[in-house]
Amino acid sequence: MTTSNRIPRRTALKLGAATGAAAVVGGRVRAQAPKTVKVAVLSPMTGPWARPGQMSLSGAQMAIAEINESGGIKSMGGAKMELIVYDAGDSTEKATDAAKRMVAQNPDLVGGSGAWLSSFTLAVTEVTERAEIPWLTLSYSDAITDRGFRYIFQMSPTADQQALIAIPVYVDIAKQATGKAPTTIAIVADNTASEVSFLKPVRAFALKDNNLTLVADETFTPPLSDATSIVQHVRGGRPQLLLLPMSTIGDMKLVLDKCNEYHLGADQLPKMGMGGQLGAPELAQTIGVNIIQGCMVLVANWPGKGQDEVNRRFIERTKEPWLNQDAFMTYIDMMILKEALERAGVADRRKVAEVLRNIDLKDEGPAKFIPSRHLKFDPKGRLVDAQLVIIQWQNGVPKPIYPASVATATPIWPKA
Question: Tens of pLDDT along 310-319?
Answer: 999 999 999 9
CA Rg value for the chain: 23
Confidence check: pLDDT of 31 > 60: no
Residue percentage of the chain with pLDDT more than 70: 92
Give the pLDDT confidence of 326-337 residue by residue, as tens digits: 999 999 999 999
pLDDT at 167: 93
Q: What share of the chain in percent tops pLDDT 90?
A: 78
Above 50 in pLDDT, residue 22? no
For the cut 50, the answer to whether the pLDDT of residue 6 exceeds it is no
Whether residue 3 is predicted with pLDDT greater than 70 in this model: the reply is: no
Predicted local confidence at residue 153, as pLDDT: 98
Cα angle: 159, vertex 160, 163; to 5 degrees: 85
Question: Sorting pLDDT into bands at 50, 70 and 90, what band is 32?
Answer: low
Tell me what the mean pLDDT of segment 155-168 comes to.
Answer: 88
222-231, 273-282, 328-337, 366-375, range with the lowest pLDDT: 273-282
Rounded to 5 degrees, what are φ and ψ at 215?
A: -100, -10
Average pLDDT over residues 398-409: 94
Domains and CATH numbers, the chain: 33-157+306-376 (3.40.50.2300), 160-299+389-402 (3.40.50.2300)
Mean pLDDT of 58-64: 98
Task: Reply yes or no on whether the pLDDT at 323 is more than 80.
Answer: yes
Look at residue 191 in the predicted model and tell me its pLDDT. Answer: 93
Distance CA 193, CA 140 (A): 9
Residue 145 reports pLDDT greater than 60 = yes
Q: How far apart are CA 237 and CA 386, in angstroms?
A: 34
Residue 23 binned pLDDT confidence (cut-offs 50, 70, 90): very low
- The C-alpha angle with vertex 171 and arms to 222 and 145, in degrees rounded to 5, equals 50
Do β-strands 296-299 and 389-394 pair in parallel, antiparallel, or remain unpaired? Answer: antiparallel
Identify which of 344, 394, 401, 398 has the alpha carbon closest to the alpha carbon of residue 371: 401
pLDDT band at 33 (very low <50, low <70, confident <90, very high): low
Per DSSP, the three-state class of 298 is strand
Average pLDDT taken over every residue of the chain: 90
Q: What's the pLDDT at 30?
A: 40
Residue 278 vs residues 20, 121, 263, 398: alpha-carbon distances, Å = 45, 19, 22, 9
pLDDT tens digits for range 365-377: 999 999 999 999 9
Query: Where does the pLDDT of residue 24 fall: very low under 50, low under 70, confident under 90, or very high at 90 and above?
Result: very low
Cα gap 219→251, rounded to integer Å: 12
Per-residue pLDDT reduced to its tens digit, 379-393: 999 999 999 899 999
Say if residue 215's pLDDT is above 70. Answer: yes
**Contact 359/335 with Cβ under 8 angstroms?**
no
Residue 20, pLDDT above cutoff 70: no
User: What pLDDT is recorded for position 286?
Assistant: 87
Pairing of strands 152-154, 135-137: parallel
Q: What is the mean pLDDT of residues 91-114?
A: 97
Q: Give the integer Cα–Cα distance in Å for 226 and 8.
A: 63
Asked if the model's pLDDT at residue 264 lies above 90, the reply is: yes
